[in-house]
Amino acid sequence: MSTLNKNIGLIGFGVVGQGFYSYLEENKEEKLLPKIVIKNNNKERDEVKAKFITEADEVINDKSVETVVELISDDKEAFDIVTKALKAGKNVVSANKKMIANNLEKLLELENKSKGRFLYEGAVCGSIPIIRTLNDYYSLDTVTQIQGIFNGSTNYILTQIFKDNVSYQESLAKAQKLGFAEADPTSDVSGSDALYKLLILTTHAFGKFISPSKVLKIGIQNITDSDIAFARENNLKIKLIASVKSNNNKLWLSVLPTFITNDSVFYNVDNEFNAVEVVSESIGKQTLIGKGAGSLPTGQVIYSDYKAPENYKYKYDKILSGKRIKYETQEFIWVYSDKITQFEKYIEEVVIINKSEGYAKVSIADLIKIQEELLDEKLSLIALTDEALKQLNKKYEFAYALQYA
């Protein structure tokens, strides 16, 4: 993607857009950005050398513009912009993970017919170059699992709850004030943001396109004081963990608040930081950790996409093999709730700790069925890692023995 003396069209000038612009200024390249498309011309903004306009087509149809950088929040409008830009032969950089997750297969078809290229490293895990890592270093290896903390906003909120003993609402408000969470935090706290990122990585690692509506997704908004107390009592933390695993040509995905033990690589990944663990047959296990929220970390990744070499393009080597992988929802996982008995008809095995409190083995398929009910009824479920399950079984071995006697 040659950038020498080629104009840029920036669409969107929010937190990430301003971060991207700061890197242009730092490298004395702001003159290559003559126009910035914004939604509201009456909003007060810091003075920049570019001209503010409100029509995206003015940038897309400008023959002097080689690269369109799309950084708006509306996914449908973003898809329209990216579609038009690729059809016009422009190079496109985007960070709109919802738009990409919902339309990636269509976008790849558009890119293949276009003279331009489509890069979107900034859509997944902030400053961590996970898409390039999968594209460049794992293309000839077989990935078996990707999991991690994909959302900096929820990780910041959960960190504040555990470290400073503040309420969910207090930590959310602080995250919004610092720019780690949006004014409307729904996508973050519901787990949707992490899910979109997970689906994008699933395509790169396993070659599979999966609809967001078909994946188990439970956020952190229903976490209770008793969940926090239980975690503290058992030396556990709660992290929102996104995970995709493959085994015997089957694929399982989930986004869940999860109890993790103090020997987990994710235990001390705090505040706005993200972490991605990749497991593969040849390389083994590797973890990448970096800032996942904020203007400059994500802006830098956008700038890196813009500066990518002219011949750089995502390879999607796994797509042909991905057509043979079956997406599966029959896998069982263990979940904790202080009202676990309310899920009696879905439970395969259960350990009752006290009255309605306990942890149980439930299928992903059944959890998908009730995930909207959980949200409506404000019920919480916390998943258990294998290590957390072993730790709890040791402590509650009497209840465990009674259950399986």
pLDDT in tens, the chain (405 residues): 444 458 999 999 998 999 999 999 999 999 999 999 999 887 878 889 999 999 999 999 999 999 999 999 999 999 999 999 999 999 999 999 999 999 999 999 999 999 999 999 999 998 999 999 999 999 889 999 999 999 999 999 999 999 888 888 899 888 888 877 777 899 999 999 999 999 999 999 999 999 999 999 999 999 999 999 999 999 999 999 999 999 999 999 999 999 999 999 999 999 999 999 999 999 999 999 999 877 888 999 999 999 999 889 999 989 877 778 999 999 999 999 999 999 999 999 999 998 899 999 999 999 999 999 999 999 999 999 999 999 999 998 766 555 654
Confidence at residue 2, expressed as pLDDT on a 0 to 100 scale: 47
Residue with tokens 């003159």: 31
CATH architecture of 332-404: 2-Layer Sandwich (3.30)
**HEC string of the chain?**
CCCCCCEEEEECCCHHHHHHHHHHHHCCCHHHCCEEECCCCCCCCCCCCCEEECCHHHHHCCCCEEEEEECCCCHHHHHHHHHHHHHCCCEEEECCHHHHHHHHHHHHHHHHHCCCCEECHHHCCCCCCHHHHHHHHCCCCCEEEEEEECCHHHHHHHHHHHHHCCCHHHHHHHHHHCCCCCCCCHHHHCCHHHHHHHHHHHHHHHCCCCCHHHCEECCCCCCCHHHHHHHHHCCCEEEEEEEEEEECCEEEEEEEEEEECCCCCCCCCCCCEEEEEEEECCCEEEEEEEECCCHHHHHHHHHHHHCCCCCCCCCCCCHHHHCCCEECCCCEEEEEECCHHHHHHHEEEEEEEECCEEEEEEEHHHHHHHHHHHHHHCCCCEEECHHHHHHHHHHCHHHHHHHHC
For the stretch 281-300, pLDDT in tens is 999 999 999 998 778 889 99
Location of each CATH 3.30.360.10 domain in the chain: 130-293+311-327
Contact 37, 62 (CB under 8 A): no
Q: How much is the pLDDT for 5?
A: 55
User: Both tokens of residue 162?
Assistant: 């555990």
Predicted local confidence at residue 181, as pLDDT: 78
Superfamily of domain 7-119 in the CATH hierarchy: NAD(P)-binding Rossmann-like Domain (3.40.50.720)
pLDDT of residue 383: 98
What is the assigned CATH class of domain 130-293+311-327? alpha beta
Output phi, psi for 155, to 5 deg. -65, -35
Q: Note the pLDDT of residue 256.
A: 98
Tell me which of 197, 208, 239, 318 is the catalytic residue: 197
CA distances 379 to 142, 290, 342, 365, Å, are 38, 32, 10, 18
Q: What is the pLDDT of residue 399?
A: 62
Name residue, tokens 């995502």. Answer: 314
The model's pTM is 0.95
Gap between the Cα atoms of 348 and 353, Å rounded: 16
Q: For the beta carbon of residue 121, count every other beta carbon within 10 angstroms.
A: 25
Give start-end residues of each CATH 3.40.50.720 domain in the chain. Answer: 7-119
Q: What single-letter amino acid sits at 311?
A: N
* Cα–Cα distance measured from residue 8 to residue 261, given in angstroms and rounded to the nearest whole number: 47
**Residues 165-224: tens digit of each pLDDT:** 888 889 988 888 887 777 789 999 999 999 999 999 999 999 999 999 999 999 999 999
Task: List Cβ neighbours of 211 (8 Å cut-off, separation of 6 or more).
Answer: 102
Q: Would you give the distance in Å from CA 214 to the centre of its chain?
A: 16
Annotated catalytic, 197?
A: yes
